[in-house]
Amino acid sequence: MAPAAALSAIGIRTCRHRDRAGSRRRRDTHPPTDGESLQVTSTDAANYDLKEEIRDYWSKRSETFDRAFGHHIPEGPEFEAWAAAIRDHLGMEPRRILDLACGTGEITKLLLALGHDVTALDFSEAMLAVARRKHAGRQRLRFRLADAENTMEPENAYDAIVCRHLVWTLTEPHKAFADWHRVLKPGGRLLFFDGDWAKPTRIGRMASGLIALIDRLAGADPYYDGAMGERHARIMERLPFGGGLRSTDLLPLLQEAGFKDVVISSHRPIAAAQRRQADVRNRLRTYLYQRFIICCRK
Ligand SMILES: C[S@@+](CC[C@H](N)C(=O)[O-])C[C@H]1O[C@@H](n2cnc3c(N)ncnc32)[C@H](O)[C@@H]1O
């Protein structure tokens, strides 16, 4: 099975990637959706830049995003595991937190439950609309439609920045990290959850094969939230981390931006908690990719 099908752990489908030398590495067999084949794709428009392409991609996924495994954080062991990771790195005190690329507001939900004051920012109006509905009437929460790579938030304003599954899709990571360093208070923390979505691990490849087998025997996963595979692949090809994101690659970038005390920790406790609540296919999905948690300090 192509790794693309398995990327559903973070809601990604991909058909093709290029390595850093630009050669084509792999292709999967997913046809475009009907919707895709009918519409003029955004890359046909000469003045449509990468960031607009990314925003449009996520906007189209906004209504179904929470259905696929790995996005929605259910109550129970998984919720507790994410909360523990945040508590471990940010402490128990209520803090002023910038939730970058909040998407449908799942990390927002955790931060609010932990008593923090949250500014939840995303550049997709459609994603923000879902998050706003989910958290209607909540106190200590404000939403902002803005680019996470250039937040335009005031300097020294936040105790922490938290983001999940954003760093892999940054178009200018140097600029983004510098901006995040700027908006943090002295001693403030950057905490992010991400992974190497371009290459499944060795065990991940086996898990991927098993998922494909189950798909063949039991039918496609009804909770998978849609393909847009070609479209995602075109975006990946143009991203700085499109060939993969390893935690160690980020160390020099973070240091260059001024961050210190970088701690890389394991995502395994969260994956173990996910397995306690997931069906077989989703349990297998927790093995697909190398995930990591990074926390560092201004
Ligand atoms: C994989 S989703 C993750 C959503 C959320 N962080 C979560 O973990 O549930 C990626 C999100 O990042 C947002 N995003 C990507 N690039 C962005 C940028 N430069 N500025 C703001 N939002 C961005 C997308 O709109 C989308 O909502």
Mutation test of ligand 1: which of 97, 111, 122 has the most ligand atoms closer than 8 Å to its C-beta? 122
Residue-wise pLDDT for 107-130, tens only, equals 999 999 999 999 999 999 999 999
**What pLDDT score was predicted for residue 32?**
28
Residue-wise pLDDT for 146-178, tens only, equals 999 999 999 999 999 999 999 999 999 999 999
Please report the domains of the chain, with CATH numbers, ordered by start residue: 3-68+198-237 (no CATH), 77-197+245-297 (3.40.50.150)
57 C-beta closer than 6 A to ligand 1 = no
Total-model pTM: 0.85
Residue 284's nearest CA partner among 221, 232, 222 is 221
Average pLDDT estimate for 12-31: 33
Residue-wise pLDDT for 204-259, tens only, equals 999 999 999 999 999 888 776 654 677 888 898 999 999 999 999 999 999 999 99
Q: How far is the CA of 127 from the centre of ligand 1 (A)?
A: 8
Q: How far is the CA of 216 from the centre of ligand 1 (A)?
A: 32
Q: How far is the CA of 101 from the centre of ligand 1 (A)?
A: 4
Query: Which of 40-44, 110-114, 196-200 has the highest mean predicted lDDT (pLDDT)?
Result: 110-114
Mutation test of ligand 1: which of 53, 56, 58 has the most ligand atoms closer than 8 Å to its C-beta? 58
Query: The tokens of 172 are what?
Result: 């200018």
Residue-wise pLDDT for 247-283, tens only, equals 999 999 999 999 999 999 999 999 999 999 999 999 9
Q: With contact defined as beta carbons under 8 Å apart, do 141 and 108 qualify? A: yes
Residue 3's nearest CA partner among 294, 257, 223, 203 is 203
148 C-beta closer than 6 A to ligand 1 = yes
Q: With contact defined as beta carbons under 8 Å apart, do 94 and 117 qualify? A: yes
11 C-beta closer than 6 A to ligand 1 = yes
φ, ψ (nearest 5 deg) of residue 67 = -75, -30
Residues belonging to the chain? 298
pLDDT exceeds cutoff 80 at 27: no
288 C-beta closer than 6 A to ligand 1 = no
